[in-house]
Structure 1
Amino acid sequence: MATSASSPALEVEGLGVSYGALVALDGLDWQVGPGEILGIIGPNGAGKSSCYDAITHLVRRRGRVRLAGEDVTEVSADKLAARGLKRAFQQNAFFNDLTVAANMRTVLQDSYGTGLAAAIFAPWREASRRHRAEAAARGLLLRFGIPEEAHALRPTDIPYGSQRMLSIALAYGSGAKVLLLDEPAAGLGGADMARLIALLRELKAEGIALVVIEHHMDLIMSVADRIVVLDRGRQIATGTPRDIQADARVLEAYLGRSA
């Protein structure tokens, strides 16, 4: 169960995905509450990324998806994002021809953008919104651990650790109720890993529901409230990190042996 006393921020029921005869996911049931971190782990090919594709309506799927208690199964991917369900992908995705700051301003257009008519007939209003967007972008970048000296650079010219944080910041955008992260710790270590852990805990403290796919077991065991384990497209275990570490089915899936 979710740690929050309120209704789940995100709930999936009977979630399934098939690609022709291949069943990628079959019958997933889990939920995550506001201010909770749910980890999703499993061997390569277990269906973890397919789970995110299904939740965000990027593939045809079976089952139901509920956001803050509302059935959003038929809602399109872009409208899900507008409702606060945001996703960061496993591979960094940037506008590579724009600076880091311009990347951030671009994803804030839903809050600070103006239409053509306003730009022509009320340029002072457009200028005011642009200045506010610049300030908001700077604040978000700093909040996500991207130093000011990197803001004028292109994403590919900043350190890899900052690139990973930028991908999360861009997914978060102008705010999220549920944030899906796909292997955010990939390639990180040392200070970069510490910054990621601090950020996850900060977002959790703000009441955001976090769902984190991760292969870095030390990270997920230290930050997750609960963990869902997938194997061959099926949900084989759900529980606290301590429960998962002692589950014979999980050891079988990862190590090829029982406890």
Structure 2
Amino acid sequence: MSGVTGPVLRVEALGVSYGALVALDDVTWSVREGEILGIIGPNGAGKSSCYDAVTHLVRRRGQVFLNGEEVTDIAPHLLAERGLKRAFQQNAFFHEMTVLENMITVLQDRYGTGLVATTLLPFAEARRRRDAVEDARQRLMRFGIPEAYHGLKPTNIPYGTQRMLSIALAYGSGAKALLLDEPAAGLGGKDMTHLIDLLISLKQERLALVVIEHHMDLIMSVADKIVVLEQGRLLATGTPQQIQSDPRVLEAYLGRAQ
């Protein structure tokens, strides 16, 4: 059983301004382990700015807490080391490496060794390398990337599989909270089904998931809670059922999509 009783990730009064433009203003939400929080809103509502603020990629107001500890001033790469991970809208991978090599690279925090160890302990290093390869192989398959693709460059695998690879690489050797930015973009059919299955399985593994998404059917089917943003402000928070029946949301967003 986990010792986490409160939210894994909590943000308080987040604000982002670009000169005179206020992109995000006084936004507060939280997500617990084994929970999926959906973030929706019209284009320009502040969704990506919210992620940039949470992960300290922009100057912002407010506070961020991870497992109850304030991490507001922690650098982005140190946030990742603490378990706050993010996947971006665009597929992100090392183009000149194979799919398997990409996965091995992001596992270096678990398997990386120094030059001295490599020189003085070559057999131990070879064993560590084999372990890393097997771990990477298992993780790729766990994220729905068949072994037949592991030796290919990422640009030579199907688009839907590229999306799964981006999520796998963001997750790396593990995460406490994972932020996904429109993971369903460009997906349909079996790829969409694979994504839904992946999100549900990550939730069952007690991961705290935050998902920005425009596909309403997807987010309404998997999210436990939904945050609705409009013009940088928090418009509504609730269960999918509450959000779908909220007249403010229907007017501001869902109604426009119909």
TM-score tier (shorter): over 0.9
Matches within 5 A, 1:1-259: 6-254=5-253
Give distance in 2, aligned partners of 1:116 and 1:50: 40
CA distance in 1, matches of 2:254, 2:40: 14
**Which stretch shows the higher mean deviation, 199-208 or 243-252?**
243-252
> Following TM superposition, by how much is the alpha carbon of 1:252 offset from its aligned partner in structure 2, in angstroms?
1.7
Between the aligned partners of 2:156 and 2:129, the Cα distance in structure 1 is 25
SS at 2:113 equivalent = coil
C-alpha displacement of 1:125: 1.9
Q: Classify 1:112/1:5 alpha carbon distance in 2 versus 1 (closer, same or farther; 3 Å).
A: closer
User: Using the alignment, how far apart are the partners of 1:5 and 1:71 within structure 2?
Assistant: 15
SS in structure 1 at match of 2:200: helix
State the alpha-carbon separation in 2 of the partners of residues 124 and 188 from structure 1.
44
- Indicate the percent of aligned positions where both proteins have the same amino acid: 71
* CA shift digits 1:80-131 (9 cap, x unpaired): 1011100000000110000000000000000011111111121122211111
SS at match of 1:164: helix
User: C-alpha displacement at 1:5, in angstroms?
Assistant: 8.1
Change (3 A) 1:119 1:159: same
SS at 1:87 equivalent:
strand
Aligned length: 254
Unaligned runs of 5+ in 2: none
- Contact persistence 2:4–2:67 (CA under 8 A): no
Rate the CA distance shift 1:10–1:255 in 2: closer, same or farther, 3 A. Answer: closer
SS at match of 1:168: helix
- The RMSD of aligned alpha carbons is 1.3
Q: Given that residues 180 and 211 in structure 2 are in contact (C-alpha distance below 8 angstroms), is that contact kept between their aligned partners in structure 1?
A: yes
Measured at CA, do residues 255 and 32 of structure 1 come closer, stay the same or move farther in structure 2, by a change above 3 Å?
closer
TM-score (norm 1): 0.96
